[in-house]
Amino acid sequence: MPPEWAPHQCTWISWPHNRDSWPGKFEPVEPVMARFVGVLSATELVRINVLDAAHEAHVRAHLEGVATAANVRFHHFPTNDAWCRDHGAIFVSRAGADAPLLALDFGFNAWGGKYPPFDRDNAIPPQMAEALGVPCRSIDMILEGGSIEVNGAGALMTTENCLLNPNRNPTMGRDGIEAALKANLGVNHVMWLGDGIVGDDTDGHIDDITRFVAEDTVVTMIEGDAGDENHAPLAENRERLDTLRLADGRPLNVVELSMPRPVCFNGDRLPASHANFYIGNQVVIVPVFNDPVDAPNLARLRDLFPGRDVVGIDCTDVVLGLGAFHCLTQQVPAA
C-alpha cells in the first residue's frame, strides 16, 4: 500500500446525503465539501459517488464556480453515508504485475454494526474498481481505511482499541489480524497504539490521533490539559511512540500537534482533531475549528510538507458527523 503522499491518479469521495449523520445541521456540510473539492480539484482529479442523476445535478450546483469542472467525475454509486475512507476500496500497487494496481474489498460493517443499514457502503469497492478498470480482490476481514496508517516502506500503524475490538473480527486475534494486514497490504511490521479520542464512534481510528507524514516521521495529537479526558489516552500513546521502532530498528521522529478546545453539540463531545487532514498531490487540506491552536498546528504541518500548500478549512459543522476530511476521502495511487 503506497503512502498517502505518493502520487495519486485521483481522490475518491462519497458526497454527504444522510441527514441522520448531521442531525439538525446538514445544510452547512455541503458548502464545506464544495470548498474542499474546489481546493483539491485545482490540482488533481476528484471522483464523487452520488445517488443518482438528480443527486448529481444537486452536487454540480454546489460545485459550480467553486471546483475545476474538468477535474471532477461523477459516479452513480449509491451509498448509505459519506465516509469513503472506511467503505471505499483500499488500493495497493503490484510491481511487475499485468495489472499494477489492485483494489482490495475488505468487509465493512459500519464500525461494529453501529449504524445499519450499510449494505450500499459495503458494495462500493468493486464498483470503484470496475470504474477504474482494475482487478478487485474480496477479503474476508472487516477493515476500515481510517483504522490504518502506512509509511510506504513496510510499516503499518493502528490501534488496539479498534482492530482488536470484538465487533470487527472476533475470531482472528492479534496474530491473525497482523498476518492478514501483512499478506494483503504488503507490510512487514505492525505498530500498535492504544485508545483513540473522546467522541470517536469508530472505536479509536488512528487517523484522528497519529499520522505518518514521512517514512520515519509521524505527527501525533497531544492534550496539554491534565483535566481533559483526552489527556491520559493521548499521553499513553505518546509514550508508546517513543518506544516503537521501524523494522530496521530506527526510532520514529515524532512531531506533536495540540488538540483544539472541546467541540460539542447538544452536550456531546465531538472528535475534533487536526490529524484528520488529507494529503493531496499538491495540497494538504486540514480541518480547523476556529481555535487558537489552528495556526500553530498549520505552521507545523507546513514545515513537514514544504512542497505542498497546507490549507485549513473550518470543519466545526462537518465534525458533527463524527469525522472530517481524511474520513471523507480515499486516494487512488498512480498506476
Q: Where are the domains of the chain?
A: 8-333
Is pLDDT above 80 for 174?
Answer: yes
Percent of the chain with pLDDT over 70: 100
**Residue 97: predicted pLDDT:** 76
Query: Could you tell me the pLDDT band of residue 328, with boundaries at 50, 70 and 90?
Result: very high
Contact in structure between 168 and 135 (CB atoms under 8 Å): no
The mean predicted confidence, pLDDT, of the chain is: 97
* Mean pLDDT, rounded, for 112-129: 98
Query: What are the cell numbers at 204?
Result: 479509536
pLDDT reported for residue 319: 98
CATH of domain 8-333: 3.75.10.10
Say which amino acid occupies 141. M
Say whether pLDDT at 96 is over 90: no
Mean pLDDT for the stretch of residues 108-118 = 98
Average pLDDT over residues 139-148: 98
* Cβ-based neighbours of 53, under 8 Å, separated by 6 or more: 76
Tell me what the mean pLDDT of segment 28-41 comes to.
98
Nearest to 49 by CA among 19, 77, 72, 21: 77
Largest CA distance in the chain: 56
What is the sign, positive or negative, of the torsion defined by CA atoms of 300, 301, 306, 312? negative
Read out DSSP for 140-151? EEE--GGG-EE-
Cα–Cα distance measured from residue 109 to residue 220, given in angstroms and rounded to the nearest whole number: 27
pLDDT tens for each residue of 254-272: 999 999 999 999 999 999 9
- Given this model, what pLDDT does residue 95 score? 81
**pLDDT at residue number 25:** 94
3-state class (DSSP) for residue 8: strand
Residue 298 — pLDDT band, cuts 50, 70, 90? very high
Give the span between the Cα atoms of 92 and 270, in whole angstroms.
32
Q: Is 327 a catalytic residue?
A: yes
Res. 86: pLDDT tops 80:
yes
CA dihedral 300, 302, 304, 310 (to 10 degrees): 120
Does the pLDDT value for residue 36 go beyond 90? yes
Tell me which DSSP letter residue 260 carries.
Answer: P
Radius of gyration of the chain from Cα atoms? 18
Question: How buried is residue 42: exposed, middle or buried, by Cβ count under 10 Å (0-12/13-18/19+)?
Answer: middle
Determine the length of the chain: 335
Mean pLDDT of 122-126: 98
The mean pLDDT value for 226-241 works out to 98
Q: What is the pLDDT of residues 73-83, one digit of tens each?
A: 999 999 999 99
Q: Cα–chain-centroid distance for residue 123?
A: 19
**Nearest-angstrom CA–CA distance, 100 and 212:** 24
Average pLDDT for residues 318-329, to the nearest whole number? 98
What are the two backbone dihedrals, phi and then psi, of residue 2, each rounded to the nearest 5 degrees? Answer: -65, 155
Q: How far apart are CA 188 and CA 177, in angstroms?
A: 13
SS3 of 244, please?
A: coil
Determine which one of 10, 162, 315, 327 is catalytic: 327
What's the confidence (pLDDT) of residue 98?
A: 80
Decide if 193 contacts 137 (C-beta within 8 A): no
Predicted TM-score of the model (pTM): 0.97
**pLDDT of residue 296 exceeding 80:** yes
CA distances from 266 to 229, 263, 269 (A): 18, 10, 9
Distance CA 182, CA 179 (A): 5
* pLDDT for res 177: 98
End-to-end CA distance of the chain: 12
The pLDDT of residue 49 is 99
- Per the CB < 8 A criterion, the answer to whether 16 and 49 are in contact is no
